[in-house]
Amino acid sequence: MEGRHPATFMQKNLDLVELFKRRARHPQRPRSSELIRSIFTHFKYFTPAGEALVCGEAKFSGKRILVIGQEKPTFEKMRKAENAKKLNLGMLSADEHSQILGVLKQARYMDPEELYIFCLIDTYGADISMVSARRFQAYFISHLIREFLTIPIRTVSVVIGEGGSGGALALQVTDRRAQLEDALYATAPPESMASIIFRDATRIRDALTISRPTAQDLKKLEVIDQVLPVPDNLADLEGFALPIARYLQKSIQELSRFKIKKLLELREKQALAYGLPKHHGKLHELKEILEKPFKKFFYKIPPDIRVINFTDQTQVGDEYNRLPALELNQDYVQCGREKGQETPGGCGALIKLEEYLQNAQVCPHCGQRAVLDAGGWIQCLTDEDSFFEINRDLDVSQLIDKETMTQYYRDFLDKQKERSHFKESLVTGEATIFGHSVILAISDFYFSGGSMGVAFGEKFRQAADRAVEKRYPFISLCCSGGARLYEGILALMQMAKTIAAVQRLKRQGLPFISILGDPSTGGAIASYASLGDIIIAEPNALVIFTGPRVMKSRGFEVDEKLVRSDSLCEISGLVYQHLNYFQEVRGIHTVVERKAMKRELAKYIEFYFRTQPAPK
């Protein structure tokens, strides 16, 4: 391209909402296909699997360039009547993610010294329709992130407009990462974020303030390495394309000096570094583990359980006449009547508290399940008195600078500490299962909905490192609502961090067993939780990328039965008939009741230990 000097934007004094509406999401902003035509003189298009993907091959600076672009609808396309009802325009579907995985698979057989991968990122987020959800959309996102972490080809990405959620991250974990000066890149689209945090999708300004999505914010956090200038005039296509072309040329020159092996190491190091403690290193981690283990696990009753105790027979209502005689001064719980529950569920039967806890909080009469906290899962899965917690005191205050934590977030954390018996949303530790030692990472739904923040990611990483060191199987229990939105983009990057940690386990040949509790959603299911060598789900667990409430708020139809574990496990049985589509995705291998989960785990753990070579 010919060089020129357009009138540049130079980050005018626009507040975040103006930047979002007037620049990042402006309908006449250049789209990926337009930029591709401007940057590359000869571009060969691949047949797209949908409307939100532009993919093909070009020549640039003497190299073959595999181009993958997310395509938001153009202004003309949005004005057409037939597109008015399409809610997922500009969002990559499961079909399109499958196509990208197939293209990357073929790229592995090409000459890595001649081929570069170049991604243009511009999306509201991944498609959240029921069609994509039923085709394991979240799994495709996690597998794409892992593919970009491990592919032996030099890679470059640029956020050109809007980077939304895991849909953007799926193509952004590259060797070189840039963002246009007026583009935004966030953990979730602001409407979705406002709907989740404030229960009000109109509070876009507050959501953007928490997100800190600007290019300058992201460069400071090392999510990107360069901010690219843009023209003041949104119609100036060449003014947008020229800085991108120059960045691509510069990146090719820089990356050509690195051996692929070194780049793979740097990718993993970068992914594992998101949210590291202020003082870190092997000595510091060893000190933390030795000084502060929680050596004995004491189970406490979850705060949402409403305990009923009758001291006089006259207190027993008529509705319980059909039940056996209730014992006085005995603690009971009522099925489906937990604290804070808006509408009653279950059968309403009274169950002795001790029996209820021993049955993993499942009603023996109707099978109604309460959401288990981390303590309940520890009781359910491990040998008695065998669990001890590691990194118990590691929390967000040790990982995020004080000035970046809003008062709103501090108040939120104080409320979570009142609800949970643990100090963060991930509980990690060592235990035995029928005598076999394992490492566990269990999310606690009672702490911020089991959300993934920097403390979650760092505890997961250190637990995986411990499994590698001791050669123990690694078991994760997902019971999560997604990313910790209060932490902005760093929360999203924990998806890449946990995937890199899982990849370390796989390189060492250690078994990784993933259990999907109810619910398993958001960034958790779109990262580590869907990468298990074995994936087990409890019955009726919600397994979906975007929660039903957010889907409904965005106008999408929802049928929860179709994205529950039992239904998805049936679909998983068809995966092997469509391997060209699903690639490495395997869905859910089996659905197991909570009480039988420990025995199910033992099958795989015993197989691992029995097949290990005898020590020399």
313 with 400, same domain: the answer is no
The C-alpha atoms of residue 474 and residue 496 are separated, in whole angstroms, by 18
Tens of pLDDT, residues 125-173: 999 999 999 999 999 999 999 999 999 999 999 999 999 889 999 999 9
CATH code: domain of residue 238: 3.90.226.10
Mean pLDDT value across the chain: 89
**Is 301 inside a domain boundary?**
no
Q: Check pLDDT > 70 for residue 384.
A: yes
Are 395 and 517 within one domain? yes
Residues 571 and 437 in one domain: yes
Report if residue 27 sits inside a domain: yes
End-to-end CA distance of the chain: 63
pLDDT band at 14 (very low <50, low <70, confident <90, very high): confident
214 and 312: one domain?
no
Structure tokens at 220: 């400071």
Q: Give me the pLDDT at residue 189, please.
A: 83
Query: Would you place residue 290 in the very low, low, confident or very high pLDDT band (cuts 50, 70, 90)?
Result: very low
User: What's the pLDDT score for residue 555?
Assistant: 86
- The pLDDT assigned to 324 comes to 56
Q: Do residues 399 and 263 share a domain?
A: no
Q: Which residues pair with 158 in a beta bridge?
A: 120, 178
Lowest mean pLDDT among 41-50, 306-315, 493-502, 509-518: 306-315
DSSP 249-289: HHHHHHHTTS-HHHHHHHHHHHHHTTT--SS-SHHHHHHHH
- Segments forming the whole domain that contains residue 134: 16-75+89-272
Q: What is the pLDDT of residue 613?
A: 80
- In this structure, are 143 and 244 located in the same domain? yes
The model's pLDDT over 250-259, given as tens digits with 9 standing for 90+, comes to 999 999 999 9
In a domain, residue 255? The reply is yes
CA gap 326, 366 in Å, rounded:
19
Q: What is the pLDDT of residue 4?
A: 58
Q: What is the pTM of this model?
A: 0.92
Report the SS3 class of residue 165.
helix
The answer to whether residue 505 is domain-embedded is: yes
For the chain, the domain total comes to 3
pLDDT attached to residue 283: 44
In a domain, 84, yes or no: no
Note whether residue 292 is domain-resident. Answer: no
Q: Is residue 444 part of a domain?
A: yes
Task: For residue range 208-239, list pLDDT tens digits in order.
Answer: 888 889 999 999 999 999 999 999 999 999 99
Average pLDDT over residues 569-588: 95
Residue 261 inside a domain? The answer is: yes
User: Encoding tokens for residue 598?
Assistant: 């420990």
Residues 240, 353, single domain; the answer is no
Assess whether pLDDT exceeds 60 at residue 585: yes
Q: Are residues 193 and 243 in the same domain?
A: yes
Percentage of the chain modeled with pLDDT above 70: 91
Paired strand residues for 304: none
**Does residue 34 share a domain with residue 115?**
yes
Task: Mark which of 227, 252, 272 sits at the end of a domain.
Answer: 272
- Which region, left, alpha or beta, applies to residue 555 given φ > 0 means left and ψ of -120 to 50 means alpha? left
Predicted pLDDT at 337: 83
**Residue 393 and residue 341 share a domain:** no
CB of 381 within 8 A of CB of 434? no
* Cβ within 8 Å of residue 22, ≥6 positions away: 14
Q: At residue 562, does pLDDT exceed 60?
A: yes
